[in-house]
Amino acid sequence: MNVRNCRRCKRLFNYIVGPYYCPSCRAELEEEFQVVKKYVQDHNRADIRTVAEECNVDPSQIRQWVREERLVFSDDSLVGLNCEKCGKMIKSGRFCDECKKEMANTFSNAMNSVRHSPSNNAPASKDKTSPKMRFLDN
Ligand SMILES: [Zn+2]
Ligand SMILES: [Zn+2]
């Protein structure tokens, strides 16, 4: 048994998994989410503060939904979040496309310490190319 205080209404409840909200607050948050989502669809140039005021929802809650990629602002929207890595404006998630790509590359480079790049036009240093590879290139 894991009893917690709900982060929202401070009532005690039996905590199982996920955010620290009691079942009734979770249901209310879900309703709020639907309201916010609808509002953002209808007013896709509204910023987070306006949405928060109009929907009577905490701005940090809205940002959290955006971070979770549940709520997405349109491309021409004036708002967004900042990439957690480079600070660029993004519409959802935590990182911009470039940083996502960079992180994916860093990851795959780490995985491939042995070089077998498919790009033939890159003049890779000859001494790293095995004789077999050079033969195939010529
Ligand atoms: Zn609650
Ligand atoms: Zn970035």
Per-residue pLDDT at 13 exceeds 70: yes
Which ligand is located closest to the Cα atom of residue 29? 1
How much distance in Å is there from the Cα of 47 to the middle of ligand 2?
21
pLDDT (0 to 100) of residue 131: 54
Over pLDDT 70: what percentage of the chain?
A: 77
Mean pLDDT of the chain: 82
pLDDT in tens, 97-135: 999 999 999 888 887 765 555 555 555 555 555 555 555
How much distance in Å is there from the Cα of 107 to the middle of ligand 1?
40
How much distance in Å is there from the Cα of 49 to the middle of ligand 1?
24
Distance CA 112, CA 64 (A): 35
Higher pLDDT, 55 or 113: 55
Q: Measured at the alpha carbon of residue 61, what is the angle toward residues 29 and 35, in degrees to the nearest 5?
A: 50
Cβ of 6: how many Cβ atoms within 10 Å? 18
Spell out which residues have Cβ within 5 A of ligand 1, the ion: 6, 8-9, 22, 25
pLDDT in tens, 28-51: 999 999 999 999 888 877 888 899
Over pLDDT 90: what percentage of the chain?
A: 41
